[in-house]
Chain A
């Protein structure tokens, strides 16, 4: 089922930020399904590859962290595995991209959110506009990751001597290594922001573990999305037996 098949009570198309599987389950507290099991598996494959890439990459980035190669079975194994993990990340992230890109398109309230970034950082969400499934920060992480991963895979292939040595000059490979290193530093920073936000905003981890958040979490952080979901649920030919009816 795609989002296009869903209709709101008045017959309009569902908004971009409502993804397949997103649903409100009334109760005490209200539960909101945020990620399907497929999306969660896809996310954790990506997350695992990104962490492994960061560890193996940092081992080759600075001698102070070379000891991390022991995690991968030594220097030779680290050198050989790193690019393949990169390939896994690329395709896994491509899956996430296809799932999430629509909900991450810019929205009108993103500008206001960014303008009131100090309220965001102070946790004063009552001063922020009602937000869809993702806020501008999450969208920044999404598009940042997308762009950085493309740069990393492209520069990574240029420096993957085992298979691609003959296709570029040494000077091009030098540039690729420098770009790869700088991009990797930036993506690790984006990753730190992503993980920190999940730690800071309590109740978030459930979204990527059990796939659900509480209604209060959705009300507080993504109220527009919650309203849309409640609206979607209450269509004219609503499923019988839903407690809300």
Chain B
């Protein structure tokens, strides 16, 4: 049993946020000086092997964030709704998987939501200054006042997490309950989990706890058990303990080796710099040509020839060299 996070203190200073603007490590479409001292990195550990699929986390998320999901349809499966939405920041995804080694049907249940990447693709893709920030404790948060609703974060995300609201046209996703964490509390989903499948603490603590869990799983025959903390995105601040860590994709399409798409890298890297340079070069070439070649003017003679042509008197073919490139 992981020691639970104690209830909030009633002391007068307990509600003062423990991190904020000064701890912003990355800010979308902006240059920021990273804070001199980094906060202790936090992490949420989701132990898929302990999850019973009760959806208490999903309900707690709606409740804490004051969200109401639309009344949907029963599609005959456990997922509800069928995908993340602007109002559903976290979603239980259910997979029925036949283990080829044992021929056993395994019911894999994964709580999907923002992974809070150390190298966030959403933030990289975002064109609006300050719409996405990353605090030095690892939390990636959307600032709705700055969001323009372009949906570039969706293209940047390797996990397909953000969703654009049709109501206010801004992007929504799990905040890792940054407001709760700021006052020393764990995320709402963690608080609601009845089996401690979700635990929250510093990233180091979570890795330690995961090790303990993985050893336990291995001792019980899950020799592929392991931690999902993908290095392709610099590690994440939401991690999974998986019984089959060699094949994350069996858990409702969890990417095996997530990374920011090379297309997004090319778009936000090379294209931006080369593009601006090429446009600048085109304009500069025009200016230079004008300076060197001078304006291309119509001469008196051109006008006279045109008049002769229009009058029906054939104009003499001009001798070579009569036309100057630059006639005053």
Q: When the two chains form their complex, are residues B169 and A189 in contact, meaning their CB atoms are under 8 A apart? A: no
Q: What CA separation (Å) do A69 and B149 show in the bound complex?
A: 13
Report B298-310 CB contacts with A as 1/0, cut-off 8 Å.
1111111111011
Determine the distance from Cα of A66 to Cα of B130 in the docked complex, in whole angstroms. 12
The reply to whether A216 and B303 contact each other, CB–CB distance below 8 Å, is yes
Please state if A78 and B148 are interface contacts (CB–CB under 8 Å): yes
CB distance from B92 to the nearest CB of A (A): 22
Residues of chain A within 8 A (CB-CB) of B302 are 215-217, 219-220
| Known contacts A122-B325, A125-B323: A201-B296 contact under CB 8 Å | yes
Residues 121 to 139 of chain A near chain B (Cβ within 8 Å): 121-126
Q: B28: nearest residue on chain A (CB-CB)?
A: A63
In contact, B310 and A217 (Cβ under 8 angstroms):
no
Does B321 contact A173, Cβ atoms closer than 8 Å?
Answer: no
Closest to B318 in A: A126
Contacting residue for A123 out of B30, B263, B296, B306, CB 8 A: B296
What does the 1/0 interface line of B154-181 toward A look like (CB < 8 Å)? 1100001000100001000000000000
Asked if B295 CB lies within 8 Å of chain A CBs, one says yes
Q: Bound state CA distance, A230 and B313, in angstroms?
A: 11
The answer to whether the Cβ of A244 comes within 8 Å of any Cβ in the partner chain is: yes
**Contact present for A26 and B307 (CB under 8 Å):** yes
Interface flag for A108 (CB, 8 Å): no
Binary interface encoding of chain A residues 52-75 relative to chain B, with 1 for a CB under 8 A from any of its CBs, else 0 = 000000011111001001000011
Q: Which of A13-21, A145-153, A191-199 contacts B (4 or more CB under 8 A)?
A: A191-199
Contacts A182-B271, A192-B279 given: A161-B154 contact, CB under 8 Å? yes
**Contacting residues, chain B, for A61 (C-beta < 8 A):** 127, 272, 275
B192 at the interface (CB under 8 A from A): no
Could you tell me if A185 and B278 are in contact, using CB atoms closer than 8 angstroms? yes
Give A200 to B296 CA distance when docked, in angstroms: 6
A29 engages B290 (CB within 8 Å): no
Q: Is A45 an interface residue (CB 8 A)?
A: no
A79 partner residues in chain B, CB cutoff 8 A: 148-150, 169
B312 part of interface (Cβ distance < 8 Å): yes
A184–chain B nearest beta-carbon distance, Å: 8
Residues of chain A lying within 8 A (CB to CB) of residue B6? none
A215 touches B271 (CB 8 A): no
| B160 and A178 within 8 A (CB) | no
Looking across the interface, which residue of chain B has its beta carbon closest to that of A199? B290
**Distance in Å: Cβ of A148 to nearest Cβ of chain B:** 14
Asked whether any CB of chain B lies closer than 8 Å to the CB of A227, the reply is yes
Chain A CB within 8 A of B257 CB: no
Interface size bracket, A side? 35 or more
A220 touches B150 (CB 8 A): no
Asked whether any CB of chain B lies closer than 8 Å to the CB of A87, the reply is: no
Q: Are A218 and B321 in contact (CB under 8 A)?
A: no
Interface string of A23-37 (1 = CB under 8 A from B): 010101110000000
B residues within 8 A CB of A69? 148
CB distance from B161 to the nearest CB of A (A): 11
Measured between C-beta atoms, what is the minimum distance from A213 to chain B in Å? Answer: 9
Which residue of B160, B297, B323 contacts A126 across the interface (Cβ within 8 Å)? B323
Q: How far is the CB of A230 from chain B (nearest CB, A)?
A: 6
CA distance A55 to B267 in the complex (A): 18
Q: Does A170 contact B (CB under 8 A)?
A: yes
B38 at the interface (CB under 8 A from A): no
Instruction: Return chain A residues, CB-CB under 8 Å to B245.
Output: none
Which among B29, B296, B299 is the interface contact of A66 at CB below 8 angstroms? Answer: B29
Pair B282/A173 contact, Cβ less than 8 Å: no
Residues of A within 8 A of B275 (CB): 61, 181-182, 184-185
Cα–Cα, bound, A219→B302 (Å): 6
Note all chain A residues with C-beta closer than 8 A to B154: 161, 170, 173
Identify which of A29, A162, A192, A220 contacts B282 (C-beta below 8 A).
Answer: A192
A sample of 25 cross-chain residue pairs with beta-carbon separation below 8 angstroms, ordered by A number, consists of: A61-B127, A79-B148, A122-B325, A124-B325, A161-B151, A161-B164, A170-B155, A173-B154, A174-B261, A177-B267, A178-B271, A181-B271, A182-B271, A184-B275, A193-B282, A193-B286, A200-B293, A202-B295, A203-B297, A215-B302, A215-B306, A215-B309, A219-B298, A226-B306, A234-B312
A residues adjacent to B (C-beta < 8 A):
24, 26, 28-30, 59-63, 66, 69, 74-76, 78-80, 121-126, 159, 161-162, 165, 170-171, 173-175, 177-178, 181-182, 184-185, 188-189, 192-193, 196, 199-203, 214-220, 226-227, 230, 234, 244
**A76-B148, A126-B321 provided; 4 other pairs, C-beta below 8 A?**
A63-B127, A185-B275, A201-B296, A214-B303
Q: CB within 8 Å of A: which residues of B?
A: 29-30, 127-129, 146-152, 154-155, 160, 164, 169, 261, 263-264, 266-267, 271-272, 274-276, 278-279, 282-283, 286, 289-290, 293-307, 309-312, 318, 320-323, 325-326
